[in-house]
């Protein structure tokens, strides 16, 4: 039995959908006891947020994926007794998470000032769409809308395409990760000073933060996002040959490297004349066109066989089916089997962190609405709220 880093900490989680629950998932993976506060009539709306027609025990697979290893406490926050119970939970908590629109949690009576008054040491984590103030503050904080406002949608698509949204809920997931970083930093400070904290992140700023490469240039040259060569998208201006290229049987990626070296490796002498690294930027479109026409003639494996021995960074572009079947993916041991008390189970990703060579895992699936309400009320009646006893770490210390 191995203690997890956050074992002994209690998190009360009011959040729903993706950003807050993803933060709660990471805290649970690291050993915290995470108690979801859910409405009795439907619970977390993510239970009905489907990315396919798959479901398990009546809930979406997406809900199961980011709410495993948590408990559910059903409470109507407008009911006096339920409110008292939740306040008692907060008195015992180390952290709280919420991602309501600005002003709503305060109207419900669980704003930072109210919670701090009963628990001065609490670390209060808050996620909003665009911050608490400003012209965007009242807008819906949905991932697609945030992507649209952030400029990141201009980073995808070809010259003939308009803005294309990222294929993942990147705003939600990054905001959740940033909230965990802030909460853990505040926990370190609290261990020294005893002070609680309010940690705030928002989806827009978290998305902008992922675009450091673009903003490093854009802030110096505000016109960098203007229309260019008839294209209306802001793209990552990496020197050639950086990019993904079609081959005779698929696709492959080339990382940052010497253009003449690539030309020699693939047998394309025309690229050897670009011996000035400055040309890799000024002539990048021309270089990429020549390289693309050449790489399309042979299969990916043939090109990798030439490029890899020369130390040129390259990789096959895999789809998910082929990735799952790959020995390299299996070697990561990135999946685990989780189950609900009903016996229903599914495969889920593990926490990507390893500490002292160990990756922490848990077989506990996501909770049913209010599954733990009675047990938690019994704990409160007995005068306490206790950490989840025991934990286990992945036995493979090498990964």
Using one digit for the tens of pLDDT, what is the confidence trace for 238-291? 899 999 999 999 999 999 999 999 999 999 999 999 999 999 999 998 999 999
Confidence at residue 228, expressed as pLDDT on a 0 to 100 scale: 40
Confidence at residue 85, expressed as pLDDT on a 0 to 100 scale: 96
* Mean pLDDT, residues 301-321: 97
47 phi, psi to nearest 5 deg: -60, -25
* Mean pLDDT, residues 304-320: 97
Residue 323 token pair: 């990735």
- pTM of the full predicted structure? 0.90
* Mean pLDDT, residues 227-247: 66
In this predicted structure, the answer to whether residue 2 has a pLDDT above a threshold of 70 is no
Using one digit for the tens of pLDDT, what is the confidence trace for 352-397? 999 999 988 889 999 999 999 999 999 999 987 876 544 445 544 4
The CATH architecture to which 10-209+334-393 belongs is 3-Layer(aba) Sandwich (3.40)
* Mean pLDDT, residues 8-34: 97
Q: Where in the chain is the domain with CATH 3.40.50.10540?
A: 10-209+334-393
- Average pLDDT, rounded, for the chain: 90
Q: Where in the chain is the domain with CATH 3.30.1540.10?
A: 243-324
- The CATH homologous superfamily to which domain 243-324 belongs is formyl-coa transferase, domain 3 (3.30.1540.10)
């Amino acid at each position: 039995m191995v203690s997890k880093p956050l074992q002994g900490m209690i998190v009360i989680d009011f959040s729903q959908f993706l950003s807050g629950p993803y933060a709660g998932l990471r805290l649970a993976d690291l050993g915290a006891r995470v108690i979801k506060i859910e409405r009795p009539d439907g619970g977390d709306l993510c239970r009905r947020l489907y990315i396919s027609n798959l479901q398990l025990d009546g809930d979406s697979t997406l809900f199961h994926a980011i709410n495993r290893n948590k408990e559910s406490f059903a409470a109507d926050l407008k009911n006096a007794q339920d409110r008292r119970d939740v306040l008692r939970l907060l008195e015992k908590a180390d952290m709280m998470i919420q991602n309501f629109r600005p002003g709503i949690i305060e109207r419900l009576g669980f704003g930072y000032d109210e919670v701090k008054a009963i628990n001065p040491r609490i670390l209060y984590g808050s996620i909003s769409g665009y911050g608490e103030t400003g012209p965007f503050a009242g807008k819906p904080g949905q991932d697609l809308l945030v992507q649209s406002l952030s400029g990141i949608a201009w980073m995808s698509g070809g010259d003939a395409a308009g803005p294309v949204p990222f294929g993942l809920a990147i705003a939600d997931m990054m905001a959740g990760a940033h909230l965990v970083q802030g909460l853990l930093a505040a926990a370190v400070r609290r261990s020294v000073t005893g002070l609680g904290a309010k940690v705030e992140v928002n989806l827009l700023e978290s998305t902008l933060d992922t675009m450091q490469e673009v903003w490093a240039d854009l802030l110096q040259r505000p016109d960098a996002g203007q229309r260019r060569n008839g294209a209306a998208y802001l793209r990552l201006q990496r020197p050639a040959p950086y990019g993904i290229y079609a081959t005779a049987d698929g696709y492959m990626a080339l990382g940052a490297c010497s253009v003449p070296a690539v030309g020699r490796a693939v047998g394309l002498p025309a690229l050897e004349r670009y011996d000035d690294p400055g040309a890799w930027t000024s002539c990048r479109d021309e270089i990429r066109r020549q390289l693309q026409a050449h790489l399309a003639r042979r299969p990916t494996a043939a090109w990798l066989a030439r490029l890899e021995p020369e130390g040129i960074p390259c990789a096959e572009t895999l789809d998910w089916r082929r990735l799952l079947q790959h020995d390299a993916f299996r070697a990561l041991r990135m999946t685990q089997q989780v189950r609900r008390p009903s016996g229903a189970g599914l495969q889920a990703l593990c926490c990507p962190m390893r500490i002292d060579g160990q990756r922490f895992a848990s077989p506990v699936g996501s909770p049913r609405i209010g599954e733990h309400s009675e047990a938690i009320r019994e704990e409160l009646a007995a005068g306490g709220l206790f950490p989840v006893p025991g934990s286990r770490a992945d036995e493979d210390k090498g990964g």
